[in-house]
Structure formats: structure tokens, C-alpha cells
């Protein structure tokens, strides 16, 4: 029997399943006998303990997991929720019930908001359960223990559980809920754990079921034959050998250069990214400076963080995305007004135009950070290189080997007017290489116009897929539609690639599509010049690129474009790639 879902990564796992314990039962709605003041004292202690525990888990986990767990720790101490709990205790609720109802109410609000905020709903559930467990004096349900390796099966996984998985024991993940950009998927990808999310029927897997989890295919084989097991174990051995291969620059088999860059959320991941073969940074998200702040960070505060990142990548390219926030990531100093559909609201460049000083400060800080790292006389040369379509590589070796190559881009650019606004402002403030992100279909339709102003374009395939197929990227029920293999998405990417080639300017991909090795080859065939991804995916992508020539990549792209569905495109490309390998 085979179960299907959305695969994370390309790895394979073979082992027995072990289920996550069921969450704590919902507290009974009964009249409290404990005085409200005493109950609130206990709740405050529980909230503080949970917050401290999540902070400590984050520090032990590091990297992307630390950012996620710190956000959860803030949820445990959120004043709005604390006030709501106190009010419910005053109304006669028990401590357990007051906590449950307060978090549940906030959770429902986030689900209704959709987008980024809907993703936080699962995190709130986890915090609520941990607080209630502390109040009851029992351990919070977590990852089961085992003396032997196993494939973990769960309805969903909380960040606190995923972040500290024992990778000697947990060899794969299967979840009923979640999409390709859920926290489970993001953290599994960063840890190189094969995972499949959104698996219908996962809840029926009994403990001890021997399965083959094939993340690349998005399948769980629950009754594998001996031959199936032998083949899976051979693939696991081959991938292990691949991971230990020498680091080389990304390139096709015929020598066509395809720089492989890293997506990073802070400078903390720089060392690991370089160790895994990143040739630079294709997407540096700056939200970490803003999302947990009560006020916008100052220029000086930003310079410190940007300079830290740039110094880590001296001799290489660093592409920085200015703040990508709005009603789906509300900031009191930017825009926290409720919107019925925040994914289509005041976000990205729209929010920044409405609060221009925040954008001005950020661009000023980036220019100052580059100046501090490079000194004088470097930015004009970098800008000239970008305008000529050069510099799309890592920047290691050759020109400016001792300098960092800073590129800055704006999110959610819809047309040439927005591109002109951002690039003009960026250049006035000292940014010499200014580009845009293509995340909505309109940017592909008028790509030729956008390239009149932008030095480069970077495609965010997560949002581009969401908006093209009208499928919320965080909603498990439509996860099957959130697939960048869909020919509609690929045709838009082809339009952007063609426009970039005609303009003589680089076009990159920094969405999760770049982390899919075979899709990465297709993207190159569509005209993409650089690929940026989670660092853990670089080895797989490098190896796959090296198996194909430029003409073969173009042939694979044509096969994908002719398909009528995402599944059809994936199948057609896989078959042609296999035939080329045999030939």
C-alpha cells in the first residue's frame, strides 16, 4: 500500500514507524474551586516556565530552529493572552480551562487571517498544551523514546519537538497536516531529515510498520518487498557518499556555471552554509530584526547586523531582501490593521511605500554596512557588473576577492512602476545593485518592463505558486496545489528567464523550488542563472546539475512545459532524465 503527501527534500528512509503520543485532552469546562488570584499566580509561573524552556531549547538547537522557538517563547508571555486568561479566571474558569480558551480564541483569529499568521496557529496550540501540562504537573507530550531508529508519525509536529530531534533515532517524519512551507517542513529540510507532510491516512499507520519513506517521490510504501527495501537502502548509501563528496562550484555537465547560494534568516547560519558549499547568499531575510520589535530598529542597530552578515561572506555575493511584512506579518509600527485577506493586502513593497521611512532607514543601513566592509571605491564597480549581467556567480576568486558583493531587492513587486520606485530610491541612498522579487504573476507578464529598471530579478516560487494557483501556501488541504512543478508556474518562470536573457541581466530563484534537484535542472533550462536554497539541499542540487548538459536541461524544461499538471510535468521530466542517463 502506498500513501502520498508532499515530500521535503530528496532523501529516503527505511524503518519501523512510531507514533507521537496523543495531545493532552481538552480541559473540562467546569466551575473553579480555586480562588482566581491563586490560579493566576500558578498560571503566571507556568507561562514563565514554558517561555524559559522554549528559549533554552532554541539556544540548544541554534539556526532557524532558534528563531522559531524564540517566537514561541514570546507567545507564552504575550500580554494580550495573559490579560485574557486573567479575565477568564475572574469569570470562574479553572486555570486549565482559562489557558485553553485564551489560546484557542487567539488561534481561531490567526486561522481566519490566513497566510503567515495561520501558520502560527499550530505554534499557539503547542504553547497552550505545554502550559496546561505544567499546571497539571505532567510532562508535555513529546517525541517518543526508542532504543532503535524509527520513522516518526504525527498529526503534526511542534517546532519545539522538531528542533531537538535525536537524528540518531528519528530517521524520517510523516505528518498528517502541514504543507511544504510549514515549520515541520522548514526544520526538517534544515536538518536534512527526510519528511513527507500532508499525508492522508498517516493516522492509520500502526506502530512498528516497516515503511520506505521516499521524500523525492512524496510516497510512503507501507508494505515494501525485499527488492524494494534493497533498492531503498542502496539509494540511502549513494546519498551518504554524495554528502561527503568534495565541495565544488555549481555547474552543468558541460561546464555551464550555475552558482548555488544559501537562503538565510540571520548571520547565525553563515558558517554552516559555507561548510555545506554555499557560494554566497541568494536570500538574506531581514525580518528577524523587525518581527519581535516594539519599534522599528534604528539605522545603527541594523548596520551592526548587516555588517556581521557581509563580513561572513567577503569575496562572495550577498542578496538582501528588504523587510517583507504587512498585514500577514503585522508590525505595530508598519501596519497592524486587520485585513480580510492579508495575502492580497498591504504587504511587501506596498507596506514599505506606505511607511517609507522604514525603507529609507533600511537601505541607508545596508549602504553603510557595505561601505564599512568594503571601504570606498567598490560600489560603482559592483553596479556596473550587475548592469552588464555579470556577477551572478558567487564572487569567490577573481574580481573583488577581498570584498563582498551586495545586492538588494524588494519583495512583492507587481509592475514596472514599483520596480522603478524601489530601484531609484535604493540607488539614491547608495545601493548600486538593486533588484526585485517576482512573486506575483503580473511581474512575469511585464518582465521586460521591469528589467528596464531592475538590475536583477529573483523569483520567489513559494508565493508565485500560491498566487498563480490560488492555493494558500500554508494550508494543508490545498498542499497538493502548492507545487512549483505546475506548468502554469513554470511558464511564468520561463517568461522571466527569457526577459532576463533579452535584457542581459541575471534571473535567480530563491524559493523552495530551487532545493528540488531535478526541478533545479528544469529551472536552469528555463533561463535561470542562479539558484538559492536551504544550505542542506546544496549537495543534492549540485550533484543533479552535474549530470546534465545545457541542451539536456532545455529539453527537460520543454517536457515540463508541455505537461498538463504538476504530476505530469514531474513524471515527464523524470522519464526523460532517466532516458538521457541510460543513453
Do 472 and 331 belong together in one domain?
yes
Q: Look at 172 and 126; give whichever has higher pLDDT.
A: 172
243 in any annotated domain: no
Tell me, what's the pLDDT at 382? 46
**How many whole angstroms separate alpha carbon 341 and alpha carbon 430?**
35
Q: What is the mean pLDDT of residues 251-269?
A: 94
**How many whole angstroms separate alpha carbon 420 and alpha carbon 489?**
25
Of 136, 165, 198, which one is at a domain's C-terminal end? 136
254 in any annotated domain: no
Between the CA of residue 325 and those of 120, 290, 365, 512, what are the distances in Å? 15, 9, 18, 19
Of 77, 105, 136, which one is at a domain's C-terminal end? 136
Do 488 and 512 belong together in one domain?
yes
* Phi, psi of 156, deg, nearest 5: -160, 165
Of 185, 211, 228, which one is at a domain's C-terminal end? 228
pLDDT category of residue 58 using cuts at 50, 70 and 90: confident
Q: Residues 319-345, buried b or exposed e (16+ Cβ, 10 A)?
A: bbbbbbbbbbbbbeebbeeebeebbeb
Do 224 and 283 belong together in one domain?
no
Q: Look at 157 and 130; give whichever has higher pLDDT.
A: 130
Report the candidate in 383, 188, 386, 408 with the shortest Cα–Cα distance to residue 309. Answer: 408
Report the candidate in 299, 281, 274 with the shortest Cα–Cα distance to residue 289. Answer: 299
Q: Is the pLDDT of residue 332 over 70?
A: no
Tell me, what's the pLDDT at 380? 45
Q: Is the pLDDT of residue 166 over 90?
A: no
Q: What is the pLDDT of residues 391-428, one digit of tens each?
A: 433 333 334 457 999 999 999 999 999 999 999 999 99
pLDDT category of residue 376 using cuts at 50, 70 and 90: low
**How many whole angstroms separate alpha carbon 274 and alpha carbon 4?**
34
Do 575 and 530 belong together in one domain?
yes
CB atoms within 10 A of CB 455: 28
Between the CA of residue 578 and those of 1, 11, 98, what are the distances in Å? 25, 18, 58
235 in any annotated domain: no
Q: Are 67 and 263 in contact (CB under 8 A)?
A: no
* Share above pLDDT 90 across residues of the chain, in percent, rounded to a whole number: 55
Report the candidate in 185, 190, 201, 174 with the shortest Cα–Cα distance to residue 14. Answer: 174
Q: Is the pLDDT of residue 378 over 90?
A: no
Sign of the dihedral defined by the CA atoms of residues 412, 418, 421, 426, in that order: positive
Q: What is the pLDDT of residues 512-525, one digit of tens each?
A: 799 888 999 999 99
User: Of 26-30, 41-45, 63-67, which range is least confident?
Assistant: 63-67
Do 123 and 192 belong together in one domain?
no
Do 365 and 442 belong together in one domain?
yes
Catalytic pick among 134, 400, 486, 510 = 510
78 in any annotated domain: yes
Do 79 and 149 belong together in one domain?
no
Domains identified in the chain, total number: 3
Do 492 and 351 belong together in one domain?
yes
Do 472 and 376 belong together in one domain?
yes
Between the CA of residue 552 and those of 118, 166, 484, 512, 583, what are the distances in Å? 41, 40, 20, 22, 12
Instruction: Please indicate whether residue 155 is annotated as part of the active site.
Output: no
**How many whole angstroms separate alpha carbon 70 and alpha carbon 68?**
6
Catalytic pick among 134, 183, 486, 548 = 183
User: Of 1-5, 44-48, 228-232, 474-478, which range is least confident?
Assistant: 474-478
**How many whole angstroms separate alpha carbon 68 and alpha carbon 58?**
8
Instruction: Please indicate whether residue 134 is annotated as part of the active site.
Output: no
CATH number at residue 366: 3.20.20.60
pLDDT category of residue 184 using cuts at 50, 70 and 90: confident
Report the candidate in 397, 379, 376 with the shortest Cα–Cα distance to residue 387. Answer: 379
* Phi, psi of 35, deg, nearest 5: -55, 140
Give the mean pLDDT of the chain.
86
Do 154 and 120 belong together in one domain?
no
What is the chain's alpha carbon radius of gyration, rounded to the nearest angstrom? 24
Do 211 and 276 belong together in one domain?
no
* pTM for this prediction: 0.73
**How many whole angstroms separate alpha carbon 266 and alpha carbon 480?**
30
Which grid cell is 218?
A: 512524496
Q: What is the pLDDT of residues 336-365, one digit of tens each?
A: 666 667 778 778 899 899 899 999 999 999
Do 303 and 405 belong together in one domain?
yes
**How many whole angstroms separate alpha carbon 467 and alpha carbon 444?**
12
Domain that holds residue 63: 36-136
Tell me, what's the pLDDT at 116? 54
CATH number at residue 78: 1.10.274.10
Q: What is the mean pLDDT of residues 142-161?
A: 83
**How many whole angstroms separate alpha carbon 492 and alpha carbon 495?**
5
Q: Look at 345 and 502; give whichever has higher pLDDT.
A: 502
Tell me, what's the pLDDT at 303? 96
Q: What residues have CB less than 8 Å from 41, skipping those under 6 apart?
A: none
**How many whole angstroms separate alpha carbon 388 and alpha carbon 522?**
25
Amino acid at each position: 500500500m502506498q500513501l502520498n503527501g508532499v515530500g521535503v527534500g530528496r532523501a529516503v528512509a527505511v524503518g519501523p514507524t512510531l507514533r507521537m503520543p496523543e495531545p493532552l485532552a481538552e480541559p473540562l469546562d467546569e466551575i473553579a474551586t480555586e480562588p482566581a488570584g491563586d490560579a493566576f499566580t500558578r498560571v503566571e509561573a507556568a507561562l514563565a516556565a514554558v517561555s524559559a524552556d522554549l528559549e533554552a531549547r532554541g539556544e540548544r538547537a541554534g539556526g532557524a530552529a532558534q528563531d522559531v522557538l524564540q517566537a514561541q517563547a514570546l507567545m507564552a508571555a504575550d500580554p494580550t493572552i495573559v490579560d485574557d486568561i486573567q479575565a477568564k479566571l475572574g469569570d470562574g474558569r479553572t486555570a486549565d480551562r482559562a489557558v485553553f480558551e485564551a489560546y484557542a480564541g487567539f488561534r481561531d483569529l490567526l486561522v481566519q487571517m490566513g497566510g503567515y499568521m495561520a501558520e502560527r496557529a499550530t505554534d499557539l496550540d503547542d504553547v497552550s498544551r505545554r502550559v496546561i501540562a505544567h499546571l497539571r504537573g505532567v510532562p508535555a507530550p513529546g517525541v517518543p523514546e526508542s532504543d532503535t531508529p524509527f520513522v516518526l508519525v504525527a498529526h503534526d509536529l511542534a517546532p519545539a519537538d522538531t528542533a531537538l530531534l535525536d537524528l540518531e533515532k528519528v530517521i524520517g517524519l510523516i505528518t498528517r497536516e502541514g504543507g511544504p512551507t510549514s515549520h515541520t517542513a522548514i526544520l526538517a529540510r534544515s536538518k536534512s531529515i527526510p519528511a513527507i507532510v500532508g499525508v492522508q491516512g498517516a493516522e492509520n499507520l500502526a506502530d512498528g510498520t516497516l515503511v520506505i519513506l521516499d521524500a523525492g517521490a512524496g510516497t510512503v510504501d507501507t508494505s515494501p518487498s525485499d527488492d524494494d527495501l534493497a533498492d531503498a537502502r542502496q539509494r540511502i548509501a549513494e546519498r551518504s557518499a554524495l554528502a561527503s563528496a568534495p565541495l565544488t562550484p555549481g555547474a552543468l555537465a558541460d561546464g555551464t556555471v550555475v552558482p548555488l547560494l544559501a537562503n538565510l534568516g540571520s548571520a547565525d547560519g553563515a558558517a554552516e552554509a559555507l561548510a555545506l558549499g554555499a557560494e554566497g547568499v541568494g536570500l538574506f531575510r531581514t525580518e528577524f530584526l523587525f518581527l519581535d520589535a516594539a519599534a522599528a530598529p534604528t539605522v545603527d542597530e541594523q548596520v551592526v547586523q548587516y555588517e556581521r552578515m557581509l563580513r561572513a561572506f567577503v569575496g562572495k555575493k550577498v542578496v538582501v531582501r528588504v523587510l517583507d511584512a504587512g498585514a500577514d506579518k503585522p508590525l505595530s509600527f508598519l501596519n497592524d490593521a486587520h485585513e480580510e485577506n492579508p495575502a492580497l493586502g498591504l504587504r511587501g513593497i506596498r507596506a514599505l511605500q506606505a511607511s517609507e521611512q522604514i525603507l529609507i532607514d533600511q537601505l541607508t543601513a545596508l549602504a553603510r554596512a557595505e561601505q564599512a566592509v568594503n571601504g570606498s571605491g567598490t560600489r560603482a564597480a559592483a553596479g556596473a557588473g550587475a548592469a552588464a549581467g555579470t556577477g551572478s556567480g558567487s564572487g569567490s576568486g577573481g574580481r573583488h576577492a577581498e570584498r563582498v558583493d551586495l545586492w538588494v531587492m524588494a519583495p512583492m513587486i507587481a509592475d514596472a512602476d514599483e520596480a522603478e520606485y524601489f530601484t531609484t530610491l535604493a540607488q539614491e541612498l547608495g545601493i548600486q545593485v538593486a533588484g526585485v522579487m517576482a512573486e506575483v504573476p503580473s511581474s512575469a507578464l511585464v518582465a521586460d518592463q521591469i528589467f528596464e529598471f531592475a538590475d536583477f530579478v529573483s523569483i520567489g516560487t513559494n508565493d508565485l505558486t500560491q498566487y498563480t494557483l490560488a492555493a494558500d501556501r500554508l494550508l494543508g488541504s490545498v498542499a497538493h496545489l502548492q507545487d512549483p512543478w505546475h506548468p502554469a508556474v513554470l511558464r511564468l518562470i520561463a517568461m522571466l528567464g527569457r526577459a532576463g536573457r533579452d535584457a542581459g541581466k541575471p534571473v535567480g530563484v530563491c524559493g523552495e523550488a530551487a532545493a528540488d534537484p531535478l526541478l533545479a535542472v528544469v529551472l536552469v533550462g528555463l533561463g535561470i542563472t542562479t539558484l538559492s536554497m536551504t544550505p542542506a539541499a546544496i549537495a543534492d542540487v549540485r550533484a543533479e546539475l552535474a549530470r546534465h548538459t545545457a541542451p539536456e536541461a532545455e529539453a527537460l524544461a520543454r517536457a515540463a512545459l508541455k505537461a498538463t499538471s504538476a504530476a505530469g510535468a514531474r513524471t515527464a521530466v523524470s522519464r526523460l532524465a532517466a532516458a538521457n542517463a541510460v543513453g
